[in-house]
Amino acid sequence: MTLTRDDLWSLEEYAGRRAEFRQQVLAHKKLRQVALGAHATLYFEDQLTMHYQVQEMLRVERIFEAAEIEEELEAYNPLIPDGSNWKATFMIEYGDVEERQRALANMGGIEETVWVQVGDGTKAYAIANEDMERTRDSKAAAVHFMRFELSAQDLAALGQGAQVHMGLDHASLANSVTLEATVREALCKDLDI
């Protein structure tokens, strides 16, 4: 379900609610992140995470005009899952800037190697960066936006309790994980199952 202006608080109202809302969102996000190794993480988005993101953008940019609020909603609504997919921000994270730059220089195309697998089904590779190209030559960006489209078989298997596996096949960070039950449960709330 996408966000509308009616879902948002005014800047003044948000100022009063911000601390409590932030705590709610941070707790919610803890169950929506999947580490694919030491340097790669998927942060799964939903209506609540995007509500927070939009409110923060409006606050920081001091946006209160209706047309500008609609622009923010148009930018962030595509990151809300729509019942048959998961949407995530994929981040390649290194604490040291130089180390990150060296690593990213050899990760071109990494966004095309991230996948989700339900049970023993077929891997669903991410549809990445629909908003813009983020890999240049052999160098990757540190942030990618991804959508994982799940098949009818995947959705049925999830409804029957199938495990979820996620990973990436890029040689520099190849790894896979099986989701913990609490994370699986949180992500399944995004789906029509």
Q: How many CA atoms lie within 13 A of 128 on its CB side?
A: 23
Distance separating alpha carbons of residues 138 and 63, to the nearest angstrom: 38
* 134 pLDDT higher than 90: no
Partner residues linked to 124 by β-bridges:
116
Number of domains the chain contains: 2
User: Is residue 151 helix, strand or coil?
Assistant: coil
Structural contact between residues 28 and 48, judged by C-beta atoms closer than 8 angstroms: yes
Mean pLDDT, rounded, for 32-37: 97
- At 55, the pLDDT band (50, 70, 90 cuts) reads very high
Full-model pTM: 0.91
Q: What is the pLDDT of residue 189?
A: 96
Q: What is the pLDDT of residue 139?
A: 79
Mean pLDDT, rounded, for 14-30: 98
Q: Do 41 and 56 share a structural domain? A: no
Q: Do 39 and 130 share a structural domain? A: yes
Q: Do 181 and 137 share a structural domain? A: yes
Q: What is the pLDDT of residue 146?
A: 95
For 10, residues 6+ apart whose C-beta sits below 8 A from its C-beta are 64
* 15 pLDDT higher than 60: yes
Q: In angstroms, what CA-CA distances link 180 with 115, 122, 135, 187, 191?
A: 17, 20, 31, 11, 17
Q: Do 187 and 97 share a structural domain? A: yes
Token pair in block for residue 115: 């996948």
Query: Please, what's the b/e burial string for 49-64 (b: 16 or more CB within 10 A of its CB; e: otherwise)?
Result: bbbbbbbebbeeeebe
Q: Do 87 and 144 share a structural domain? A: yes
Q: What is the pLDDT of residue 133?
A: 53
* 30 pLDDT higher than 60: yes
User: Is residue 92 helix, strand or coil?
Assistant: strand
Q: What is the pLDDT of residue 129?
A: 83
Q: Do 136 and 88 share a structural domain? A: yes
Rg (CA), the chain: 18
- pLDDT per residue as tens digits for the range 69-80: 999 999 999 999
Token pair in block for residue 157: 């298997």
Q: Do 75 and 96 share a structural domain? A: no
Mean pLDDT, rounded, for 122-145: 79
Q: Do 156 and 113 share a structural domain? A: yes
User: Is residue 121 helix, strand or coil?
Assistant: coil
- At 1, the pLDDT band (50, 70, 90 cuts) reads confident
Mean pLDDT, rounded, for 36-61: 97
Indicate which CATH number applies to the domain containing 41.
Answer: 2.60.40
Structural domain span for residue 76: 1-30+47-80
Q: What is the pLDDT of residue 138?
A: 64
One-letter amino acid at 156 equals A
Distance separating alpha carbons of residues 43 and 29, to the nearest angstrom: 8
Q: Specify the higher pLDDT residue, 140 or 181.
A: 181
Mean pLDDT, rounded, for 87-96: 95
